Structure 1
Amino acid sequence: MNASPPILVAASDLAAAKAQWLAYLAVERRMSPKTVEAYDRDVTSFLRFLTGHFGEPPGLDDIASLAPRDVRAFLAARRADGLKPRSLMRALAATRAFARFLERQGHGASAALSAVRGPKLPQSLPKPLAPEAARKVASADTRMGEAREPWILARDAAVLALCYGAGLRISEALGLTRKDAPVSGRDSLTVIGKGNKMRSVPVIAPVARAVEDYLKILPFPGGPDDPLFVGARGGPLSPRIIQYAMQHLRGALGLPDSATPHALRHSFATHLLGRGGDLRSIQELLGHASLSTTQIYTKVDATELMRVYQSAHPRARG
């Protein structure tokens, strides 16, 4: 019995261009196989829709001549299939990326994909830890007694102290070298953040002590340009190790799943704001390119104020 032929979702010219694009993502952009697979899946879904929409598999000319109503019809169809706004936005982003590739290859521009606005995503507020919980997470004493080498416990505590006490991302903390260490009276760090943007971050005494305590018992010698934080064998430290440490701390302290290393950075910003820090300064400390990114913490702080009010004010329950 012969297998039925595969259903075509694109004419031969468009199918060939799509294969070329996927190879470009994998080879030149060095995207992971899973990411390339996700892009492929989203664009195939779009082309399958166009096949039904136009009554035949689309070609290169069809992509270039798309109208905004065609793109809106696709989004409406996927929404009717039960796709959530975030998945719809991802599908639209993948399709736009494919269209930009086609334009660079000289196959014409598809203005419709850029003209149609994506679905509005629900804004999820950062979930900071309570101050006491954040302090415990960033303290080596919390894990004292574990069957781990003391220098490893000190290392994990120092990384988490930098996330909470200085607002660093994990990647920024693990990108520090020995010469960057805030020791010997140094009270600031130079951090290279997203987009290779450099910023100076003040370091408070408890954070500096955590780093010094770690370096005092670190068993691996190193030069000034070697990583400040190393793995069990002296090589670069994987972010996953710090995530495992945080997972263990969540269980020990009874914290929710939202208590991640990045939540410590949220806690840094939220707690500063709650103590009177101004948004512009917090923006600089976090390395946000836009003040609007930092403004989300005002909503977090307002939410916490309302929670305290509802639980403590005598008239709040009446």
Structure 2
Amino acid sequence: MILNIHAILTTCYAAGLRISEAVHLKPTDIDSQRMVVRVEQGKGQKDRYVMLSPKLLEILRDYWRTRRPKEWLFPGDRAGHPRDAVGQACAKAHDLSRLSKPVTPHSLRYGFAVHLLEAGADVRTIQLLLGHRSLATTAHYLRIATNKVCGTASPFELLPRPAPTPPPLGKPQYF
């Protein structure tokens, strides 16, 4: 069970998935040749691809070798039906960690977005990875990443500086 929880939570964070997207992943959605995860019929009935981290691929391969899931990558208790395993796993992780802040599937997705921004990804790329229709929705996710804003140099700093003016010459000295 621990391997299952670890695989689900890691997938949610590493790919920035919504809970509904994570529990509807199929083993065939993991494309290790192209290193992408296919999110089929995400919110708004849109398909998209997200990156597949090599570390996540290793975790998913270990999970697959142990569990051998068939239809769903993360099946629930009833065979062939995914369940809200991610939410339960987050609640359990929150209890075990004793963190004061909530641990939810959405907080993992939010962390994915903020950490991408802090690593230098542009907002449009983050928007596509999250599957947002509107850039305003993505901006809402990223409003708290103030250290990125504060750490950004002004383009003024990139302008060439004029050559320093030499000091005025004194009286000419003759031999």
TM, length-normalised to structure 1: 0.44
Equivalence for 2:30:
181
What is the match of residue 274 of structure 1?
118
RMSD: 2.1
What are the residue-to-residue correspondences of 1:119-130 with 2, within 5 Å?
Answer: none
Larger-Rg structure: 1
Say how many residue pairs are matched: 149
Unpaired runs of 5+ residues, structure 2, are 151-175
What pairs with 1:175-254 in structure 2 (closer than 5 Å)? 175-183=24-32, 185-191=33-39, 192-218=41-67, 222=70, 226-239=71-84, 241-254=85-98
2: CA distance between counterparts of 1:229 and 1:154?
Answer: 11
Offset at 1:219?
5.4
Identity %: 37
Moved over 2 A (4+): 231-235, 303-306
1:257 Cα deviation after fit: 4.8
8 Å contact from structure 1 (residues 156, 245) kept in 2: yes
> Which residue matches 2:4?
155
2:140 aligned with 1:291: no
| Higher helix content, 1 or 2 | 1
| 1:288 Cα deviation after fit | 0.2
Identify the residue that residue 65 of structure 1 maps to in structure 2: none
- State the distance in 1 between where 2:148 and 2:90 align: 23
Q: What is the CA-CA distance between 1:268 and the residue it aligns to?
A: 0.1
Q: State whether residues 16 and 108 of structure 2, in contact with CA within 8 Å, keep that contact through their aligned partners in structure 1.
A: yes
Q: For residue 259 of structure 1, give the secondary structure of its aligned residue in structure 2.
A: coil
CA deviation map 1:2-48 (0-9, x unaligned): xxxxxxxxxxxxxxxxxxxxxxxxxxxxxxxxxxxxxxxxxxxxxxx
Letter in 1 for 2:112: F
Structure 2 residue matching 1:201: 3-state secondary structure:
strand
CA shift digits 1:86-106 (9 cap, x unpaired): xxxxxxxxxxxxxxxxxxxxx
For the residue of structure 2 that corresponds to 1:189, the secondary structure is strand
What TM-score do you get using the length of structure 2 for normalisation?
0.76
Amino acid at match of 2:27: R
Counterpart amino acid of 1:207?
L
Corresponding letter in the other structure for 1:256: S
8 Å Cα contact 2:18-2:106 kept in structure 1:
yes
2-structure distance, mates of 1:286, 1:176: 16
Q: Can you list the C-alpha shifts for 1:43-74, whole angstroms capped at 9, x where unaligned?
A: xxxxxxxxxxxxxxxxxxxxxxxxxxxxxxxx
8 Å contact kept, 2:37–2:52: yes
Contact 2:5 2:89 in 1 (8 A): yes
Contact conserved, 2:123 with 2:139, CA < 8 A, in 1? yes
Matched, 1:259 2:108: no
**C-alpha distance in structure 2 between counterparts of 1:242 and 1:272, whole Å:** 22
What are the superposed Cα offsets for residues 212-245 of structure 1, whole Å, 9 maximum, x if unpaired?
Answer: 111101156x3xxx11211245332311x32222
Q: Distance in 2 between matches of 1:290 and 1:159?
A: 27
